[in-house]
Chains A and B, each alone.
Chain A
């Protein structure tokens, strides 16, 4: 059953984070790790948000907004996926599982690419605002001219709020169906989460922009594997 207050909350938070990403502040509340975790926290399913956010943070690590180039919109991917995962978990009442996180990412991970198209689509509106500001300034209405700047935010808020809210509705609707899936498929989905996380971390190592990234990533991975194996042997010995 869809909890509409939660859907509204997901929408408002998704819209606000979309503004923080580019229009206001850019203090990284809109990064996937923070955006998804906070979305999970607001919807009462922080673990789902956290693990969805961790994976998407790694996946989008190398993306950067340089000059006029537009990267994928990592924020809507994070808010959409986390809202869906949280909705899914809340509708079952049993808490989030790796299978639900994987399903949310499979369903909505591509929103980052859609977000880039939306951002591009909204640019002409801002160009019109800029032209209007110049025209209004020429008429001597300076305060009104500079305040055109703030009008550039509302379409972003509305569109991304609708998308995040929509994702949470889908999560609420899909959640009960997950428990009716064949056990083998649920197990496969649960296995898909770490598989995607592993792939995303490899993408992150490559996207770190470091010289010799393979060497640094390989050495750290080797140390972690050796430490984990040593711990395992110690535990078995005890």
Chain B
């Protein structure tokens, strides 16, 4: 049976013929949201993966012996970025359906997981944890003085527009493409997008230092408002320098508070 060619992340792929019902696929996807419910240092996401796959394995293997063997082969060590795990879950179903039909040996799905979890974790960590989340966090936090509580709503909407779309697409791509989803994920150029997003994060944080210093300083300082605004700005620059010299974050936070309390008490 020939595999379809890889596709970029853009157009949604056609659902694969795994022999599983749409309801079963939906249950696997929904249960994958609990992937890290019992994260542990030994097997990491092993139990979460087995929990997510169980409805599909039950449907694919009516024979109890084969069902037990299928569940057991997914209780071994597994760890990847939780959103990118959707792609592996889809790919596992792709392979398990072929194993159930006798078209592949069971070792195939084990090597598929082992080969993909590392690279997908690196991609997902770099894009979601180190780029998208900090960029949107800094951007929306900087907008708090303007948007008030809507800044938090904006953060959720923007983040989840990317997160949920990618998660659902990756699951479907895994189902359709199996091993070849790596090529399709590579087309999305996540590292390049990540680098751009990190720039947004740094710029937003710089804007936040300046805006918070100026607006809050002017509002609270009364007659010494301008002096206070300048002081906060200087404190921001000093804080950046101290952090770059590996000064502790908590020490910095409490140092800033102590200086301000002392200034308020004695000025």
Q: Do chains A and B stick together as partners?
A: yes
Q: Give the B-binding residues of A (Cβ under 8 A).
A: 22-29, 31, 33-34, 37-38, 41, 46-47, 50-51, 53-54, 57-59, 61-62, 64-68, 98, 102, 105-106, 109-110, 113, 123-124, 126-127, 129-131, 133-134, 137-138, 140, 142-143, 145-153, 182, 184-185, 187-214, 216-225, 228
CB distance from A17 to the nearest CB of B (A): 13
Report whether A199 and B46 are in contact in the complex, using a CB–CB cutoff of 8 Å: no
Report whether A192 and B149 are in contact in the complex, using a CB–CB cutoff of 8 Å: no
Q: Complex: how many Å from CA A105 to CA B258?
A: 13
CB distance from B129 to the nearest CB of A (A): 4
Query: Quick one: CB contact mask for B40-81 with A, threshold 8 Å, 1 for yes?
Result: 111110111011001000100000100110011001000100
Known: A41-B149, A209-B198. A188 touches B129 (CB 8 A): no
Q: Complex: how many Å from CA A166 to CA B94?
A: 48
Determine if B112 is an interface residue (Cβ-Cβ < 8 Å). Answer: no
A26, A59, A68: which contacts B44 (Cβ < 8 A)? A68
Determine if B114 is an interface residue (Cβ-Cβ < 8 Å). Answer: no
- Chain A minimum-CB-distance residue to B131: A209
Q: Complex: how many Å from CA A70 to CA B260?
A: 32
Note all chain A residues with C-beta closer than 8 A to B125: 64, 66
Note all chain B residues with C-beta closer than 8 A to A187: 264-265
Name the residue in B151, B206, B244 with the highest tally of chain A Cβ atoms < 10 Å from its Cβ. B206
User: Of residues 135 to 155 in B, which have CB atoms within 8 Å of A's CB atoms?
Assistant: 135, 137-138, 140-141, 144, 148-149, 151-152, 155
Q: Complex: how many Å from CA A142 to CA B262?
A: 63
Determine if B97 is an interface residue (Cβ-Cβ < 8 Å). Answer: no
- Secondary structure dominating the interface of A: helix
Ordered by A's residue number, 15 sampled pairs between the chains whose C-beta atoms are within 8 Å are: A27-B160, A102-B257, A123-B40, A149-B38, A188-B261, A194-B212, A195-B235, A196-B257, A197-B208, A204-B134, A208-B201, A209-B131, A213-B198, A223-B207, A228-B211
CB distance from A165 to the nearest CB of B (A): 22
A54, A98, A217: which contacts B144 (Cβ < 8 A)? A54
Determine if B156 is an interface residue (Cβ-Cβ < 8 Å). Answer: yes
- Chain A minimum-CB-distance residue to B132: A28
Report whether B34 and A150 are in contact in the complex, using a CB–CB cutoff of 8 Å: yes
Q: Give the A-binding residues of B (Cβ under 8 A).
A: 33-34, 36-44, 46-48, 50-51, 54, 58, 64, 67-68, 71-72, 75, 79, 82-83, 121, 125, 129-131, 133-135, 137-138, 140-141, 144, 148-149, 151-152, 155-156, 159-160, 163-164, 195, 198-199, 201-217, 220-221, 228, 231-233, 235-237, 239-240, 243-244, 249-250, 252-257, 259-266
B164, B195, B253: which contacts A59 (Cβ < 8 A)? B253
- Chain A minimum-CB-distance residue to B239: A202
A38, A57, A102, A206: which contacts B141 (Cβ < 8 A)? A57
Note all chain A residues with C-beta closer than 8 A to B72: 134, 137-138
Note all chain A residues with C-beta closer than 8 A to B44: 68
Report whether B156 and A146 are in contact in the complex, using a CB–CB cutoff of 8 Å: no
Report whether A123 and B205 are in contact in the complex, using a CB–CB cutoff of 8 Å: no
B144, B203, B232: which contacts A216 (Cβ < 8 A)? B203
Known: A50-B152, A210-B201. A66 touches B264 (CB 8 A): no
Note all chain B residues with C-beta closer than 8 A to A66: 125, 129
